[in-house]
Structure formats: structure tokens, C-alpha cells
Amino acid sequence: MLNQKLQHKLFQKLSPQQIQLIKLLEIPSLQLEQRIKKEIEENPVLEEGSDDEENPLEKEQDDDGNNDSDEYTDEFTLEDYIEDDETPAYKLSISNFSKDDKKYEVPYSEGNSFHEHLENQLGLQDFSERENQLAKYIIGSIDEDGYLRRELSAISDDLAFSTNIIAEEKELERILNIIRDFDPPGVGAFDLRDCLMLQLEKKIKAEPAEKEILSIALSVLNNFFNEFVKKHYDKIISRLGIHSDSLKDIISIITRLNPKPGSMFSSETQKSSQHVTPDFILEVVDDKPFVSLNSRNIPELRLNRTYADMLKNFNEKKQKPAVQEKNAITFVKQKIDSAKWFIDAIQQRQNTLLLTMEAIVDYQSEYFIEGDETKLKPMILKDIATKTNLDISTISRVANSKYIQTNFGILPLKYFFSEGMQTQDGEEVSTREIKMILQECIGSENKRRPLTDEKLATILQEKGYQIARRTVAKYREQLGILVARLRKEL
């Protein structure tokens, strides 16, 4: 049974203009320049340059504020040309996901890839056609770090199913051993220990004079790898019967080995380097910080007068146009509206960025004047949102991927946001200050007996910072510092 009823619902829906503003607000100035160029290419009404003349879209008015063309508008208006039930194309072309999300990078010339480098060395081997095919398949199974992380049995099964080649594990192992002798040393290893041992074996062949110490290092990796990783050096010394100075030399040799043989060819190292362009420029004049937008590469925008005059002429006609003229009117109006929205969105973006950055500079004025990290106050997104009367999500978008140029370097906006805690005296301090003290304590510790998290917590408490051991561990991990056991040195 079907029932009909009326129901009121209240919900939020973002307009195309709001979506466009959100997208522009997120991107840094370097991508904004590319976005503007793209919009100019797609919209013929939009062009670069400042518009000092009167806007041609504004109708001329007399001193009394009346429109001189009332005699025409009584009969026909622009709205008469365009039916109300038609949906302009611009309302259908904007969505939450668009080509704007792409990241553009400057391409540059590259050399051979890691796998190409390995395949080029196959030509130096006396391989049959079958062996060459198997070797290429094995090389294709090696990852970008240089490791073969698949079992030979799995590779054998894949060969049987994908290429109809039946290959036993022993045959694959024989070819793999030849590939393991390729450059760079350590390629084709199953794990880290295997990789380091392959490199040491090559070193022993290449440096006979260092054979004794290299052989001991090889023995350490082969028999005491877990003890070496966990830095249980006393056990290694007692079991091998060597002096601590010898173990120091062994540690030095092993730590100079490459844990990722393919890293010099990997795609990570071949990515184009990113050039940071600051979005804001800070200047200190008479001990007062002033911030400005870096709009050096962002052109001024205006409407193309040719299209604007065209629309004005259509509006002044006394008779309805033909179908072709009507389509032209619709196209021009859509493009003009789209250009207006884009210019307004750019202006709103600039105003929002400047308002937010001025609030951050005002909040952290002592830091921006002196550049002393201890002057940084605890600051979260809500503090700036309250100060600017903007939403927290807006502040988050402004702080994302934006940089400011100061007298002491170019810094990301996220750098200035940190949580706070109170000292014994009730003073509010930034967690960044606590992290700095942690770094100083760990930097000056005795490496033979590194400070544990519990001892670090005690030191901080003595300095007046009431902080728990687990919090110390969290800050230490955020700083990328290892636990005390792994910081131990001889």
C-alpha cells in the first residue's frame, strides 16, 4: 500500500562556489599559480591584468540611480532569452573531486632504472635463451630495495602458470646466485642479514688485506645477528673473545654497509625535488612583526571586455534572438558567471589566508620577533579559530601545506601549533619546549649508559615539568629518537 505525505527536512548542501573556495583555500601559492593558468585556458572570459576601468557589466545609471535603458528592459530582458527550466552547464561541471586534485611535478631526464640496470648485466652472462628468460623473471620479482622477498617455490609456480615454463627450485637458485653477484652488492638478498653478508663477502674478495676483520664481522652477522641488532655487545665480546676496540671497528664496518642496495636507483630517489615557495612573508620593523601575502607569481584577473560587451549588446536588443544567438548568450553568461565566481573565490582565499596568518603572528608575536623556540606558546587550531571567528576546519585548511618566510628560515604553519601543559609554578608551556629539553638531555647523555624514559621523566620533573614516563616515550618517538637500549654505544 502506497502512502503520500509531506515532510520537512533540514540539511546542509555545499554550493559550487563554496566547493571551489574550499579547494583554493587548501592549495599553496605554487599550485594556485598553476590553477589560475588552467582556469584562464578553460575560460575565455577570464584574462590576466588589472581592471581600472568601469565594469562593463554594470549598467549605466543616471544621477538619480535610474537605468538609462529602462525602455528596453520593459519589453525584453536577458532572462527572457534563457528559459528558467534550463540548467546551466557550470552547475553540472563542479564536484567534490576534480582535476584540481592532481599534483603537478616538473619532469626531468632520468637514467636507467634499478631493474634496467640489472637486466643490462644479463648480457655479460653466458645464458641460454631459457636461462635468460628465467633470470629476467627473477629480476622482475626483486623489489625496489633490492630484496627478493618471495620464495623460489612461489616463483616456480608463477612461471608454470603464467609462462608455461617448468623450472625446479634448484635451477632458479643457481640463476639467483649468479644475479646476487651483480652490481650493486647485496642485490637479491632474502632479508637484511643476508644482504649485509653478501656485501661483506664481496668486500673480502675485493680487499684481501682486511680479510681478518671482515671475516669476524661476517661471523658476527652470521652467528650473533640478534645480539648485534639489540646491541648486546657484552655477549658478542665474551663469545667471540675479542676486545671492545675490535668490536668498535666491526660495528663501523657493518654500519657503513647499504641496507637497501636498490635505493640509489629507486623511484623514491628519482622523484623531482620539491621547491618550497612561501605563502607569507614576515618582516620585523621596530620590534613589530608584519606579515604579507606572497603574491609575486599570482596574476591579477579581470573579465574580458569583448565578451562583456557582447552580453550587454544582446541585452539591449528589442527583439528575441534566434536559436543560435540564444545558445551564444547562454554560453557567454555561463562563462562570465564562472569567471566572476573564480575571481571572488581568489579574493576570499587571499583575505582568509591573511586574516589567519595575522592572528597566528599576533598570538606568537614574541617568537616571531626573537626567533627563540622557547618563546612559542601552546597553540591549537581552536585558539586561532576563536581569534578570527572562522571555523576550525577553515584554519586547518589554511595551515595545511602553507609556509612562511621569516628572518630565521622558511617554516610550515603547522610548526607553530602545539599542545600545552602546566609547570609546577602553574605556567603554561608548549610541548615543543619539553621536546627541546629531551633532545638536549639525550644529546649529552653517556652513550655507554643511555638515559631510559623513566630517568628522562625524573629529570623533567626536577626541572618543574610534571610529566609521566609514557608521555616521555611518546615525545621521544615523535622526535624519531630510539629507546635507550638501541642508543647504546661502546
- Point out the least confidently predicted range of 83-97, 133-147, 429-443: 83-97
**CA dist list (Å): 113 to 132, 183, 265, 267:** 19, 13, 6, 8
Q: What is the pLDDT of residue 74?
A: 42
CATH superfamily of 420-487: Homeodomain-like (1.10.10.60)
Q: What is the pLDDT of residue 49?
A: 72
Q: What is the pLDDT of residue 195?
A: 93
472: left (phi over 0), alpha (psi -120 to 50) or beta: alpha
Q: Which residues of 376-413 are buried (b: 16+ CB within 10 A; e: fewer)?
A: bbbbebebbbebbebeeebbbbbbebbbbbbeeeeebb
Residue 191: band (very low, low, confident or very high) from pLDDT cuts 50, 70, 90: very high
- Point out the least confidently predicted range of 52-56, 195-199, 370-374: 52-56
Inter-axis angle of helices 244-255 and 192-206, to 10 degrees?
Answer: 100
Please, which residues bridge with residue 48 across strands? 301
| 8 A C-beta contact, residue 291 and residue 361 | yes
Mean pLDDT of 433-449: 83
Q: What is the pLDDT of residue 359?
A: 92
403, pLDDT greater than 80: yes
Q: What is the pLDDT of residue 14?
A: 60
Q: What is the pLDDT of residue 111?
A: 59
Residue 194: band (very low, low, confident or very high) from pLDDT cuts 50, 70, 90: very high
102, pLDDT greater than 70: no
- Point out the least confidently predicted range of 87-96, 343-352, 361-370: 87-96
Q: Give the Cα separation of 61 and 66 in Å (integer).
A: 5
350, pLDDT greater than 80: yes
Residue 402: band (very low, low, confident or very high) from pLDDT cuts 50, 70, 90: confident
In the chain, pLDDT over 70 holds for what percent of residues? Answer: 78
286, pLDDT greater than 90: no
| 8 A C-beta contact, residue 353 and residue 398 | yes
Q: Is the dihedral of CA 393, 397, 398, 404 positive or negative?
A: positive
Mean pLDDT of 283-288: 86
Q: What is the pLDDT of residue 88?
A: 43
With a CB cutoff of 8 Å and minimum separation 6, the contacts of 87 are: none
Of residues 115 and 275, more confidence is placed in: 115
Mean pLDDT of 20-26: 78
Mean pLDDT of 280-308: 83
Q: Where are the domains of the chain?
A: 13-50+272-417, 114-179, 192-264, 420-487
pLDDT tens digits along 138-168 = 999 999 889 999 899 999 988 888 888 888 9
| 8 A C-beta contact, residue 488 and residue 450 | yes
Helices and strands (H and E) in the chain: how many: 23, 8
User: What count of other Cβ atoms lies within 10 Å of the Cβ of residue 127?
Assistant: 16
DSSP assignments along 151-175, one per residue? -HHHHHHHIIIII-----HHHHHHH
441, pLDDT greater than 50: yes
Of residues 83 and 312, more confidence is placed in: 312
Q: Which three cell numbers mark 373?
A: 623556540
Q: Give the Cα separation of 290 and 326 in Å (integer).
A: 52
Select, from the ranges 39-48, 109-118, 295-304, the one with the highest average predicted confidence (pLDDT): 39-48
Residue 204: phi and psi, rounded to 5, are: -60, -40
Of residues 313 and 462, more confidence is placed in: 462
Q: Give the Cα separation of 300 and 40 in Å (integer).
A: 11
Bridge-based pairing state of the strands 403-406 and 280-285? parallel
Q: Which three cell numbers mark 354?
A: 591573511
Q: Give the Cα separation of 320 and 381 in Å (integer).
A: 55
Residue 1: band (very low, low, confident or very high) from pLDDT cuts 50, 70, 90: low
Question: Nearest 5°: CA angle at 58, between 325 and 298?
Answer: 95
| 8 A C-beta contact, residue 361 and residue 368 | yes
Which residue is associated with the grid cell 635463451?
129
Q: What is the pLDDT of residue 378?
A: 82
With a CB cutoff of 8 Å and minimum separation 6, the contacts of 72 are: 315, 316, 317, 318
- Run of H or E residues at 302: strand 301-303
Mean pLDDT of 260-281: 68
Environment class of 120 (CB within 10 Å of its CB; exposed 0-12, middle 13-18, buried 19+): exposed
Residue 75: band (very low, low, confident or very high) from pLDDT cuts 50, 70, 90: very low
| 8 A C-beta contact, residue 475 and residue 443 | no
Q: Which three cell numbers mark 309?
A: 560587451
Mean pLDDT of the chain: 78
- Point out the least confidently predicted range of 75-89, 298-312, 330-344, 467-481: 75-89
